[in-house]
Amino acid sequence: MSNDAYTLASEAAAALHRASGLDTFDVALVMGSGWVPAADAIGETVGEVPFTDLPGFRAPAVAGHGGKIRVLRTSSGRHALVFLGRTHLYEGLGVDAVVHGVRTAAAAGVRTLVLTNAAGGLRPETQNVGDPVLISDHINLTGANPITGTTFIDLTEVYSRRLRALVREIDPTLSEGVYVAFRGPTYETPAEIRMLRTLGGDMVGMSTVLEAIAAREANLEVLGLSLVTNPGAGLSGEPLNHEEVLEVGRATAARMGVLLAKVVDRL
């Protein structure tokens, strides 16, 4: 999937058009772990396509990461592609696999992309577990990049200022933060968490940044939302585990669903 990654995405987009009977879609949302239960609130399901039915997609490796694309119709009549699950760099399938959903959404006609994730919080002084945070910017420490060659993409405003302002109109209590991504799959050491705080990070996770870069290459307008599900390693005295991520997601699904539904209807 290297030179032909964009062709493969076009083929997946064509398959989505055939499966849904729709010519285009208004928005795509990638539901990270913790966000999948919120998908139901966004609109009425008009179709579902398992990843395994589409060229270039793999079934996700992680519990709670779903494994299909749902086509939704919102109350205002917009059509959304909802990715229930994503491929992560730590799965070892390569960077093209990680951004295949974003390239497919772009090829399918989407102009706006909502990237959600669950993340560790680097600012427990001001963040609560279960809070969504608007991603204002990112620091890519994955060592990877989805773009190869002399395509020098401007990343001055990866996460749209306009969309962030729109979300803050809907929920003025939301704060903004810088999302740092590592490859994973290990969580950080306490020393790495101290480093990330010094570097200016506010959340840490293992996703989103490569997808956001691929989206900017395709000229999509990007909104990023992190659900803080744990304080970073060493900040709370507790070890980290994936089950607490899913638990926080279940507990906050209603709030996240209402927020996303309002956002999608106002894009």
Q: Which residues bind to ligand 8IG, rule: CB under 6 A?
A: 118-120, 182, 184, 187-188, 204-206, 229-230, 232, 240, 245
**Of 215, 225, 245, nearest in space to 99 by CA:** 215
Identified catalytic residue from 44, 91, 188, 221: 188
Helix (H) or strand (E) holding 265: helix 242-266
| Closer Cβ to ligand 8IG, 84 or 118, answer by number | 118
CB of 154 to ligand 8IG, least distance (A): 27
Tell me the longest C-alpha to C-alpha distance in the chain.
Answer: 52
| Closer Cβ to ligand 8IG, 8 or 210, answer by number | 210
| Closer Cβ to ligand 8IG, 119 or 163, answer by number | 119
| Closer Cβ to ligand 8IG, 25 or 182, answer by number | 182
> Between β-strands 27-31 and 79-84, what pairing exists: parallel, antiparallel or unpaired?
parallel
φ, ψ at 255 (rounded to 5°): -65, -45
Handedness of CA 28, 115, 65, 226 (dihedral sign): negative
Active site residue 188: yes
CB of 204 to ligand 8IG, least distance (A): 4
249: left (phi over 0), alpha (psi -120 to 50) or beta: alpha
CB of 133 to ligand 8IG, least distance (A): 12
CB of 247 to ligand 8IG, least distance (A): 11
Active site residues: 188
